[in-house]
Amino acid sequence: MKIGALLAASTLALALAGPALAQKSKGKGKLNMDLNLPTFGALPTGEGLQKPKAEKDLPTPTTTSIDAKYEVVRLQHGRSFMRSASGATPMGGALESIALTGNPPTSERFTTVVRVKCPQRLNSSIELAVLDPRGDTAMTATGEVNFRGTKQDEVDYTVEWDPTPMRSGGDFQVLVRIGGQVMGTWPLKVVEGKK
């Protein structure tokens, strides 16, 4: 009984939709889908509308990469430095060694000046690490080698080291990195009890 009611409803729906749904179009073998709806005219073609710029019309950013060559010309330690025409000069002479005093042993305050050369005069990050005789890091400093405002290809980078506790004296090394690249190590003698 339920199936009969369902078939009757389907037949009625087809009859109401009209013969256009069930009719095949002439010679093509496809159903005619004309539902007798009103027409609204042709769809707009987009002519006259502003088209977005194509990607090829947009300016492409130009990047120039210069392989900067950095070189550490010299590295000096001193109590203080003064500026001169040839760069920073240690007042009272360069320190031959750094003293440790107190208990626990602590380094004296001192200054390190690194003279960096770069023909391209490009600024870069710089890192200094003071390594003890075992290779452990005792002190570190980071900053920037800055060629801005200078016409020469050599500049000084200065680090003023605060007193730092150390296990003992010995032959230390100062490791220099510029732009993440290791530039080398320079010796630093640390002596206990010297003034």
Number of domains observed in the structure of the chain = 2
Query: Per-residue pLDDT averaged across 4-21, rounded?
Result: 49
pLDDT at 164: 95
pLDDT at 90: 74
Residue 22 lies in a domain: yes
Does residue 89 sit in the same domain as residue 182?
Answer: yes
Q: What is the percent of the chain where pLDDT is above 90?
A: 48
CATH number of the structural domain spanning residue 170? 2.60.40.1930
Mapped onto helix, strand or coil, the DSSP state of residue 11 is helix
Structure tokens, 157: 């980078």
Does residue 109 sit in the same domain as residue 164?
Answer: yes
Model confidence over 45-62: pLDDT tens digits?
A: 555 555 444 444 544 443
Report d(CA 169, CA 88) in Å as an integer.
27
Strand partners, 139: 130
Q: Identify whether 90 is preceded by a cis peptide bond (ω within 30 of 0).
A: no
Which range marks the domain in which residue 124 is found? 71-192
Residue 155 lies in a domain: yes
Query: Per-residue pLDDT averaged across 54-80, rounded?
Result: 68
Does residue 23 sit in the same domain as residue 93?
Answer: no
